[in-house]
Amino acid sequence: MAPDAMPLPRFLSSLVEWSDHFMTRVSARNGSLRPLHIDAYRSYGTPDRFYIKGRLLADRGISAQTAEDSRWRNFQGMVRRFNSREVAGADLVAELPDGSQHLVTTDDEGYFTLIIEPQALPEPVAYLWYPIPVSLSRLPSHFPAIPAKVQGVARVLVPPATAEFGVISDLDDTVLETKATNVLKMLGKVLLSNAHTRPPFEGVAEFYQALQHGLTGQPDNPFFYVSSSPWNIYDMLEDFISLGKLPAGPLLLRDASLRLPPAIPGESMAASAHHAHKLHEIEGLLTTYPHLPFVLLGDSGQEDTRIYREVVRRFPGRIKAIYIRDVQVPARAALVGPVSEELRGEGVPMLLVPDYATAAQHAAGLGLIKAEGIGKSPVD
């Protein structure tokens, strides 16, 4: 390849971005663009430092999902999620209770990321969650005018001082069935279903709520969901967590881009992207909460075993236990044993579990959850 040649994935990604921006500009000028809104994602922070992320885009025309929706309707909704009209180069303002305003500009995909140091915390809502209003203040020049007030509310999770540990969980094939080891089955699951028609695995809600309550009985232990799913389906995953009675927590997803990170030796390009994203997000969490130990949950279908082994190496003494759900693929399960044996020598139990009742019994034996709470129905 010539020195100045652009790799194909980067070229295709740039072409898609240019096409999206062009269509957004044309729609804005001729008045056909849907109303703008701010997707403010659940995020996390400390009393001294908030991390806020979201996206500015045109309404995608997605109606509320129901259990009666047909596969065709689910597919139409999925197409709308990925055929978004994002707004690049717009200025947004986050306002804190102390009156301070913090400016951020959306990137080429309409995303914004803001790290602020609050002088005063807002009143929490729904326990542990702190609301931060984010509003649109300036649009790019190709928009004729700023429309009616465009505002979203970012919800920032701040773990209390009484938290015993944090929990980091994967989603696909850990909490809900995705069939990530089979591309065709995975596409069918993702494209043709919705949050109402994809229930969580048996026992996962009870186990996760037991972890959230720990030994104190209070829902103080924070949950974080780290997944390679794209931000485009954030609303579906939020609905899934709520409907499945799982603990609310920040969803740390990734951009649906054709650009891939450098390959990791022994892994495919897709696996490298998955590995790099999850490791980056988990490192961010453990760095943000240096005094909080963590429990890690994943599955044997992808790279969770290797990723979690790397986390233990980089953060010695920080991981209390690792639970890997067995996806019933023998070749994948065989990879867990050697890593489990290796981590046992470092004092970190890694279990390959067939179900969450087994995980709960082990967690109770470690003193992570109350034994009497095993098997109880999840709290409404």
Q: Identify the bridge partners of residue 349 per DSSP, sorted by sequence position.
A: none
Q: What is the mean pLDDT of residues 210-216?
A: 96
Residue 59, pLDDT score: 80
Residue 131 pLDDT > 50: yes
Which of the two residues, 103 and 333, has the higher pLDDT score? Answer: 103
Q: Which residues contact 180 (CB under 8 A, 6 or more apart)?
A: 172, 173, 186, 301, 302
Tokens in use for 82?
């990925």
Q: Which helix (H) or strand (E) holds 273?
A: helix 269-288
Domain map (residue ranges) of the chain = 8-157, 166-373
pLDDT confidence band for 16 (50 / 70 / 90):
low
Q: What is the mean pLDDT of residues 298-307?
A: 91
CB atoms within 10 A of CB 32: 9
pLDDT confidence band for 239 (50 / 70 / 90):
very high
111-130 pLDDT, tens digit per residue, is 999 999 888 777 888 788 99
Residue 112, pLDDT score: 95
Residue 35, pLDDT score: 83
Q: What is the mean pLDDT of residues 29-57?
A: 86
Region of 130 please: left (phi>0), alpha (psi -120 to 50) or beta: beta
Q: What is the mean pLDDT of residues 17-31?
A: 59
* Cβ(165)–Cβ(293) below 8 Å: yes
3-state secondary structure at position 163: coil
Q: What is the mean pLDDT of residues 171-194?
A: 75
Rounded Cα gap, residues 229 and 212, in angstroms = 23
Residue 118, pLDDT score: 83
Residue 22 pLDDT > 80: no
Which of the two residues, 108 and 169, has the higher pLDDT score? Answer: 169
Question: In whole angstroms, how far apart are CA 314 and each of 207, 253, 279, 286, 307?
Answer: 27, 22, 10, 10, 11
Residue 25 pLDDT > 70: no
Which of the two residues, 143 and 48, has the higher pLDDT score? Answer: 48
81-107 pLDDT, tens digit per residue, is 888 788 899 999 998 888 889 999 999
Q: Which of 1-15, 37-51, 166-180, 252-266 has the highest mean pLDDT?
A: 37-51
Residue 267 pLDDT > 80: no
Rounded Cα gap, residues 219 and 129, in angstroms = 12
Tokens in use for 55?
């996206």
Calculate what percentage of the chain has a pLDDT beyond 90. 53
CB atoms within 10 A of CB 29: 12
Of 380, 357, 368, residue with least CA distance to 203: 357
Superfamily of domain 8-157: Immunoglobulins (2.60.40.10)
Top CATH class of 166-373 equals: alpha beta
Of 326, 286, 276, residue with least CA distance to 306: 276
Rounded Cα gap, residues 85 and 13, in angstroms = 15
pLDDT confidence band for 321 (50 / 70 / 90):
very high
Region of 261 please: left (phi>0), alpha (psi -120 to 50) or beta: beta
Residue 378, pLDDT score: 53
Residue 371 pLDDT > 60: yes
Rounded Cα gap, residues 324 and 359, in angstroms = 9
Rounded Cα gap, residues 220 and 91, in angstroms = 35
